[in-house]
Amino acid sequence: MAAVLQFEDLQIKLGTRMVLDRLNGSLSGRCIGLLGPNGSGKSTLINTLLGFYKPFAGTAKVFGQSVQSDLRGVRSHIGYMPESDAFIADMTGVRFVRYMAELSGLPAAEAMERAHEAFFFVGLGEARYRKLGTYSLGMKQMAKLAQAIVHGPKLLLLDEPTNGLDPEARQRMLELVRTIRDAGETHILISSHLLRDIEDCCDEVIILKEGRIAALCNLEEERKANLKFLELEVNQENGFLESVRALGCECASFGGGRLKVVLPESIEVRQLYRVALEHSVQIRRMNYRRDSLEDIFLRAMSDGRESKVATNGRL
12 and 52 fall within a common domain: yes
**Percent of the chain topping pLDDT 90:** 71
Task: Supply the mean pLDDT for the chain.
Answer: 90
70 and 194 fall within a common domain: yes
275 and 305 fall within a common domain: no
Q: Which residue has the higher pLDDT, 207 or 301?
A: 207
- Select from 30, 23, 21, 27 the least CA-distant residue to 3: 27
Q: Decide if pLDDT at 304 tops 60.
A: no
**Tell me: the pLDDT tens digits for 14-49?**
999 999 999 999 999 999 999 999 999 999 999 999
The answer to whether residue 95 is domain-embedded is: no
The answer to whether residue 112 is domain-embedded is: no
**Tell me: the pLDDT tens digits for 39-87?**
999 999 999 999 999 999 999 999 999 999 999 999 999 999 999 988 9
State which residues form the domain around 39: 1-77+154-218+292-315
214 and 302 fall within a common domain: yes
pLDDT attached to residue 313: 37
The answer to whether residue 126 is domain-embedded is: no
**Lowest mean pLDDT, pick from 10-19, 100-109, 304-313:** 304-313
239 alpha-carbon distance from chain centroid:
43
Q: Decide if pLDDT at 264 tops 80.
A: yes
The answer to whether residue 132 is domain-embedded is: no
Are the CB atoms for 207 and 39 separated by under 8 Å?
no
CATH number at residue 270: 3.30.70.100
DSSP 8-class letter at 290? P
The answer to whether residue 96 is domain-embedded is: no
Q: Which residue has the higher pLDDT, 301 or 275?
A: 275
170 and 277 fall within a common domain: no
Q: Which residue has the higher pLDDT, 252 or 113?
A: 113
Phi first, then psi: what are they for 62, rounded to 5°? -120, 115
Q: What number of H helices and E strands is found in the chain? A: 11, 14
Q: Decide if pLDDT at 205 tops 80.
A: yes
171 and 208 fall within a common domain: yes
The answer to whether residue 194 is domain-embedded is: yes
Task: Print the SS3 string covering 36-99.
Answer: CCCCCCHHHHHHHHCCCCCCCEEEEEECCEECCCCHHHHHHCEEEECCCCCCCCCCEHHHHHHH
C-beta atoms surrounding 27 within 10 Å? 21
251 and 159 fall within a common domain: no
pLDDT attached to residue 314: 37
* CA dihedral angle for residue 47, residue 49, residue 55, residue 59, rounded to 10 degrees: 160
Residue 14: strand pairing partners: 17
The answer to whether residue 105 is domain-embedded is: no
**Percent of the chain topping pLDDT 70:** 93
d(C-alpha 194, C-alpha 201), whole Å: 12
166 and 48 fall within a common domain: yes
The answer to whether residue 257 is domain-embedded is: yes
158 and 284 fall within a common domain: no
* Count of structural domains, the chain: 2
Confidence of residue 268 (pLDDT cuts 50, 70, 90): confident
Q: Decide if pLDDT at 315 tops 60.
A: no
Confidence of residue 307 (pLDDT cuts 50, 70, 90): very low
d(C-alpha 251, C-alpha 242), whole Å: 9
173 and 277 fall within a common domain: no
CATH number at residue 1: 3.40.50.300
252 and 312 fall within a common domain: no
d(C-alpha 243, C-alpha 13), whole Å: 53
Residue 285: strand pairing partners: 233
**Tell me: the pLDDT tens digits for 149-169?**
999 999 999 999 999 899 999
C-beta atoms surrounding 274 within 10 Å? 11
Phi first, then psi: what are they for 288, rounded to 5°? -75, 135
Helices (H), the chain: 42-49, 71-76, 93-103, 108-121, 137-149, 167-183, 195-201, 219-224, 240-246, 269-278, 293-302
pLDDT attached to residue 1: 59
73 and 5 fall within a common domain: yes
